[in-house]
Amino acid sequence: MVDISILGQRYEVPEGLTILKALEWSGFQMTRGVGCRGGFCGACGTVYRLSNDHKLYYALACQTVIKAGMILGEIPFFPAQRPAYKLENLEASGEALIGLYPEILKCFGCNTCSKACPQGIDVLNVMSAVIRGDLPSAAEASFDCIACGLCVARCPSDNVPPNVSLLVRRLYGKYLSPPAGHLRYRLQELEGGSYKAEINGLKSAPLTELRQQYAVRQIEE
């Protein structure tokens, strides 16, 4: 057993648990700040300190194993601006992004955003690429962003890198990325009714049959 602190209260939990499991072991019923449990959704952003250590650490609660002396604080959501827009009305340019997120230009390169990212993303590089108008680089560098919001919580310039990154990838996907020939072919198949009988069969099948088909489905390696 190890001692940890959750929201200022001491708890004793089994060694080897993730932060998320330690919270549940301690009696917390997780209705927010928990999602996929696989490190993909970004719902369980967590900050913590260690005993006799001044440094602030950042983590995903579902992926990080507890350490003795952890002082934990969950951040299931952090307020962030997200202006309304339609991709059809935007150009794939740095100017379009700065028009919606002018605070990007206030970034003074402290790199706190990158240090706070539990995914190890070079967030500062993403913001710099946006300012340069290099959307392909920004889209690629931010690909692993799961919008946990920890960088937003730490940015002294009030930037919202997850929302900026999301718009970058949307613009890149709509206007700049090479067309996917195999996707166009599959859409043509669907529109031509190639799978209509199979789809109707699945829609009308009983639940027991659907479960059986799911259990024996072929999984691509």
pLDDT beyond 90 at 167? yes
So what's the pLDDT on residue 121? Answer: 94
The domain 2-74: what is its CATH number? 3.10.20.740
Boundaries of every domain in the chain: 2-74, 87-176, 181-214
In the chain, the amino acid numbered 93 is S
Instruction: Return the minimum-mean-pLDDT range out of 15-19, 34-38, 49-53, 67-71.
Output: 34-38
Yes or no: say if 6 and 111 are a contact pair by the CB < 8 Å rule.
no
pLDDT digits (tens, 9 = 90+) for 34-64: 778 887 788 888 889 998 888 888 888 888 9
pLDDT beyond 80 at 76? no
> Does 162 or 37 have the greater pLDDT score?
162
So what's the pLDDT on residue 42? Answer: 80
Q: What is the mean pLDDT of residues 162-166?
A: 94
What's the CATH class of domain 87-176?
mainly alpha
Q: Cα-flanking dihedrals φ and ψ of residue 117, to 5°?
A: -80, 120
d(CA 204, CA 105): 55
CA dihedral 169, 175, 181, 182 (to 10 degrees): 30
In the chain, the amino acid numbered 127 is M
pLDDT beyond 80 at 31? no
Cα distances from 8 to residues 30, 73, 116, in angstroms, run: 18, 9, 22
So what's the pLDDT on residue 81? Answer: 84
pLDDT digits (tens, 9 = 90+) for 103-127: 999 988 999 999 999 899 999 999 9
The secondary structure element, H or E, covering residue 129 is helix 123-132
In the chain, the amino acid numbered 43 is A
